[in-house]
Structure 1
Amino acid sequence: MRNIILSLIACCLVQSHLSAQQNTTDTRHQPLRDLNGYFPMQSPTNIAEWNIRREHVLRQILVSQGLWPMPQKTPLQATIHSKQQMDGYTLEKVYFQSMPGFYVTGSLYRPLHAKGSTDKFPAVLCPHGHWPQGRFYDAPASTLKDQLASGAEQFGQGGRNPIQARCVHLARLGCIVFAYDMIGYADSQQITYELAHRFAKQRPEMNHPTDWGFFSPQAESHLQNIMGLQTWDSIRSLDFLLTLPDVDTRRIAVTGASGGGTQTFVLSAIDPRVKVSMPAVMVSTAMQGGCTCENACLLRVGQGNIDFAALFAPKPLGLTAANDWTVEVETKGYPELQKLFTLLGKPEHLHLEAHTNFPHNYNYVCRRAMYQWFNQHLALGFSQVPPERDYKYQTAEQLTVFNSEHVRPAGGVALEKKVLRHWEQQSQQQIDALLGNGSRNTKRFQEIIGGGIDIVLGKSLPPGADITYDQQHETQKSGYLQMNGILSNSKNGSANSILFLYPDNWNKQVVLWLTDHGKLGLLDESGNPNSDVQTLLGKGCCVVGLDMLFQAEWITGNESEAHRTRSVANPREAAAFTFGYNYSLFARRVHDILTAVSFVTNHDMQPTSVYLLALDKTGPLAIAARAQAGDAIDRLAANTNGFRFANVTDLQSPNFLPGGARYHDLPGMLAIAAPQVTWITGEKKIPPIVTQVYQVEKPADAITFNAAPTSSCSAAITWLLESK
């Protein structure tokens, strides 16, 4: 009944002074971005600016991959077997555990040691990309014929697999090379190719708050994704290489093409052990990677592949371009990278090999450029790099690491769930350990948990200079002034309808009151302030109502906008295709709250106290905003309604938040706001992590618990008015 009455009020108010002008300026109503957008990099003007930007981009990558904080490394238990001496190199089979029970598989190529030599060799990690079956790929005869004719390849045997070709020649040049399988390729079959790379439809049986699978809302809320697992495999593959006694740990390189190019620039960005990098045909301002293994929620919101490649600066970075989505990188993206490398004093450490006469590839022409780059920066010692020569192609039967002695490990749904359980459990143990020594670790808790939540929510409190207010109506009422207009944020493109009820006897206190119905929730059936709002006005508090995105009159003709998070046109039901490039509706509504808080706190009227009140289903939004606003909100009174992000089972729910459960869920957001004064209801008791952090930061009376949600409104108002 309440909803019907409010709808009638809204219809009447559309023609009245309370309704703001129809929203046409909020850019967030425009179509969502997707992987085929344009992703330029903004060149920094000085090193200090770059260092700030670099830290944020790096943290955003790590958070998106489920690697913030970095997981504990478990024993690799590596097995190397079946060594063969080939023409100028040796070939061995490798498998090890990146997580307990989950195996990385691959081929290890080594140079032939000179008799009695004790020299150590540079090492090269080779992720492979989306060539069918990766290490086992065998080019169709017609494809090979065309490549030989065009000069893309040189040899009938060697041209059959460009992955094997580069590994063989690098070994012949004096490098130890590890070619490892992407998930679902070659010997890595514990998680299938169809799941990892072709996922398209949600699996209801894998969507459960305590027992879930990849791509489910629960996995996304915990930031567990195939890309993150593959990135972890890359880190552990580097760990494996560095355990080899003949590897020179000061000379480590990574190179791969296509999806392997993605893994190359991601690993190079996040792991300082990599000294030279050459991602092929993947770094551009255009298409960012079309596979589920190259996408993760949060990853490319406000940034892209050029930014990721830039993190490697000023270390030696080589790139290649072809007649694909990298075709324009020479004029779009590469100039910005040149400016950065010049700023950092190493312009010679950047190189682009553009061969746009060839389609998407890592062919002989581009590999030749890579050999020259590695010769220069890995100190291989050649005055002129020897060209490739043919080698004996290895079939799948010859390369597979498993046999009767080395048994293929079990996979399937049970293994998938086991991996995700381990990932989540050790993550929570790490987070809990941050508070294990009391106040000594509180700062670290704030850095890790606060740093993660900052990326999950996406925005902090905006500067007052970014915000403008366009007042549209002002009416003097009995005892208060009623004003409404549009609040705009120039940086995120938002424009929100906002209502101010300003009492004649203002006491310098402001209450921003969020409701499920926006500013209309502050009114009674006659369109006047309801009794609770009147109580606050009577005590001299200014009361502010806000229409968040797709709330109340900001619905653009389709009421489902208020109840469903939008998704991009991609028919595959993987959250990363939408939320890897766009904030969720929940996050955008948090941004709206932060904009309103910033406007009020920076207002010329200089309020002494700003309170945030959210006693219906908006409680989690208020708690999330408080986590980012810090002491700009003097007091928060919120009803959690027992909400947890981990319990959201629909990717299009307005409460779906990628990463929302990752850092102790909603209680983690409450805890990170310590020692700010807070009142909560809707819980059976104060969540333990909240109590623990508040006890360290400040006496426990900084947080008040109300056990009777039915009386929460009057109790919260009494608390606000009586607190000192």
Structure 2
Amino acid sequence: MKRLIIPAFVALCGTAYGQTFENKFTRPLGDVLNDVSRRFGVRLKYDVDTTGLKLAYADFRIRPYSIDETLTNILTPFNFKPVKQNDKLYKVKPYEYARRTPEDGKKMIAWLTSLYADKAQWEARKDSVSREVRARLGIDPLLAACADEPPVYTKKRKFDGYTVQNFCIKTVNGHTVKGSVYAPSSKGMHPLIICPNGHFYQGRYGKVQQQRLATLARMGAICVDYDLWGWGESEDEVGTKAHHTAEAHVMQALNGIKVLDFMIRRKDVDKTKVGVNGGSGGGTQTVLLSVLDDRYTAACPVVSMSSWFDGGCPCESGLPIQLAGGGTCNAELAAMFAPKPMMIVSDGGDWTSTTPETEYPYLQYIYNMYGAKDKVRNIHLPKERHDFGPNKRNAVYEFFIDVFGLDRSKWDEEKVTIEKEDNLRFKPKGL
């Protein structure tokens, strides 16, 4: 008789919702989210598929006083996350390991700052983290295996105050990196600026990239860009899917180092003035290259550097370098450039929106350990969004005019000739 008590009780009390201790109060995830939507009066937009997914302890995860806590509790077991669009709309997205929140960024900066009270402690941390970044990236064995053949160049194309020449460099395992050199028409020694490009429209072949490099070349700097791994001519070699792999993370860094290896050997390069500058994913590369290569004397990451976003593409975060030192972020990696000149360009429409109050004061704190607080600067454009528009480019020009002594009188984007993509591709027959 006792054996019938529990089933009978369940039959009486559990059938209304079908939830019991025995089944862990499980409900279909889609049903739970529909209930939450009605309960809180919000609309949910899905970037994930919830079909067939079931949630244990479903209704116990609901917090009647907070839609945000409710959605986080419900979605976390599936590696989903809520992203608030406005008071009435939330997106349900896959968990993004490389993206956190501005509040997380503040906490990370506070934790990092607590690790070093003086220059000696900072230097010890810097050495440890930089070594671990290299190890997690796995770059040193690949660099050791690289070919050491000089670049092959196409003929120079002459424009108003500058020239453009395409190149091909053999790297490792039969791969190559291809790009273009924008150089001043004038003779003599010139600063060198390596310009990794981001995911902006058309990559290194786009108008914005050409405008910036050609203008800097007109003002007196040799500027070099090269394809992202799996983009442009690299796509012809390894395929477009290769860009969305961990391999892209290490190979783009390797390509940047090899480009510098050969360009810095040029007789017209002033080795005391070597810069690195890129936007978005190119800004992430700018920070990483500054950590991996101490030959740079000035750095300028644009709309990229953040304490709460590592870069959303595997080419920026495909390998777990942010786990170095028990946890780091691009702000700490950028700080490793101290005390050399650095400018951070940020805006109000992306993950750099917190730069003036979070990341920039932290960078000043590190630079101040060297008595070089004035060597780091921030240009913040609160009304702008994520791009490499005129105001961002103008900030870059001002920075390199200041640190490299470029010729301001040659600053004129209207003098730049925008070439077709085909012209910027390496063509052996054009040698």
TM > 0.5: yes
Hey, what does 1:292 align to over in structure 2? 314
Q: Does 1:123 align with 2:192?
A: yes
SS in 2 for 1:54: helix
- Per-residue CA deviations over 1:322-357 (Å, capped at 9, x if unaligned) read 211111111122111111111111011101111121
Hey, what does 1:172 align to over in structure 2? 218
SS in 2 for 1:367: helix
Please, which of 359, 367, 371 is the counterpart of residue 333 of structure 1? Answer: 359
Hey, what does 2:156 align to over in structure 1? 83
Within 2, Cα distance between the matches of 1:295 and 1:183?
A: 14
Hey, what does 1:311 align to over in structure 2? 336
Hey, what does 2:272 align to over in structure 1? 250
Compute the TM-score of the two structures, normalised by the length of structure 2: 0.71
Deviates more, 1:233-242 or 1:36-45: 36-45
Hey, what does 1:191 align to over in structure 2? 238
* Aligned amino acid, residue 400 of structure 2: F
- Per-residue CA deviations over 1:412-440 (Å, capped at 9, x if unaligned) read xxxxxxxxxxxxxxxxxxxxxxxxxxxxx
Q: Is the contact between residue 230 and residue 240 of structure 2 (CA under 8 Å) also seen in structure 1? A: yes
Q: Does 1:47 align with 2:119?
A: yes
Q: Does 1:36 align with 2:99?
A: yes
Identify unmatched segments of 5+ residues in structure 1. Answer: 1-28, 138-160, 200-214, 216-224, 407-724
| Change in 2 beyond 3 A, CA 1:297/1:178 | closer
Hey, what does 2:170 align to over in structure 1? 97
Q: Is the contact between residue 76 and residue 240 of structure 1 (CA under 8 Å) also seen in structure 2? A: no
Within 2, Cα distance between the matches of 1:106 and 1:69?
A: 24
Compute the TM-score of the two structures, normalised by the length of structure 1: 0.43
Within 1, Cα distance between the matches of 2:142 and 2:228?
A: 20
Q: Does 1:379 align with 2:405?
A: yes
Give matches, 1:631-642, under 5 Å.
none
| Change in 2 beyond 3 A, CA 1:248/1:268 | same
Q: Does 1:58 align with 2:58?
A: no
Within 2, Cα distance between the matches of 1:107 and 1:385?
A: 21
Within 2, Cα distance between the matches of 1:164 and 1:131?
A: 12
Within 1, Cα distance between the matches of 2:169 and 2:132?
A: 28
| Cα deviation, residue 288, structure 1 | 1.5
| Cα deviation, residue 403, structure 1 | 5.4
Identify unmatched segments of 5+ residues in structure 2. Answer: 1-75, 80-94
Hey, what does 2:258 align to over in structure 1? 236
Q: Which has the higher helix share?
A: 2
Q: Is the contact between residue 106 and residue 179 of structure 1 (CA under 8 Å) also seen in structure 2? A: yes
SS in 2 for 1:243: coil
Percent identical among aligned pairs is 28
* Aligned amino acid, residue 162 of structure 1: V
- Per-residue CA deviations over 1:104-157 (Å, capped at 9, x if unaligned) read 1111111012xxx5x2100111111002331223xxxxxxxxxxxxxxxxxxxx
Within 1, Cα distance between the matches of 2:241 and 2:287?
A: 24
| Cα deviation, residue 283, structure 1 | 0.6
| Change in 2 beyond 3 A, CA 1:184/1:33 | closer
SS in 2 for 1:188: helix
Q: Is the contact between residue 59 and residue 68 of structure 1 (CA under 8 Å) also seen in structure 2? A: no
| Cα deviation, residue 100, structure 1 | 4.6
Hey, what does 1:557 align to over in structure 2? none
- Per-residue CA deviations over 1:619-642 (Å, capped at 9, x if unaligned) read xxxxxxxxxxxxxxxxxxxxxxxx
Give matches, 1:153-552, under 5 Å.
161-189=207-235, 190-197=237-244, 225-301=247-323, 302-322=327-347, 323-380=349-406, 382=408, 386-402=411-427, 404=429
How many matched pairs? 325
Within 2, Cα distance between the matches of 1:135 and 1:164?
A: 7
Please, which of 121, 128, 136 is the counterpart of residue 205 of structure 2? Answer: 136
| Cα deviation, residue 71, structure 1 | 2.7
| Cα deviation, residue 364, structure 1 | 1.4
Q: Is the contact between residue 183 and residue 196 of structure 1 (CA under 8 Å) also seen in structure 2? A: yes
* Aligned amino acid, residue 35 of structure 1: A
- Per-residue CA deviations over 1:497-553 (Å, capped at 9, x if unaligned) read xxxxxxxxxxxxxxxxxxxxxxxxxxxxxxxxxxxxxxxxxxxxxxxxxxxxxxxxx
Q: Is the contact between residue 123 and residue 248 of structure 1 (CA under 8 Å) also seen in structure 2? A: yes
Give matches, 1:6-45, under 5 Å.
34-37=97-100, 38-39=104-105, 40-41=108-109, 42-43=112-113, 44-45=116-117
- Per-residue CA deviations over 1:168-219 (Å, capped at 9, x if unaligned) read 100000011111111122222212222213x5xxxxxxxxxxxxxxx5xxxx
Runs of 4+ in 1 over 3 A off after TM superposition: 29-33, 384-388, 403-406
Larger Rg: 1
Within 2, Cα distance between the matches of 1:235 and 1:195?
A: 20
- Per-residue CA deviations over 1:269-299 (Å, capped at 9, x if unaligned) read 1211000000111111222201010113331
Q: Is the contact between residue 286 and residue 326 of structure 1 (CA under 8 Å) also seen in structure 2? A: no
Give matches, 1:633-652, under 5 Å.
none
Q: Is the contact between residue 168 and residue 176 of structure 2 (CA under 8 Å) also seen in structure 1? A: yes
| Cα deviation, residue 400, structure 1 | 1.3
Hey, what does 1:108 align to over in structure 2? 181
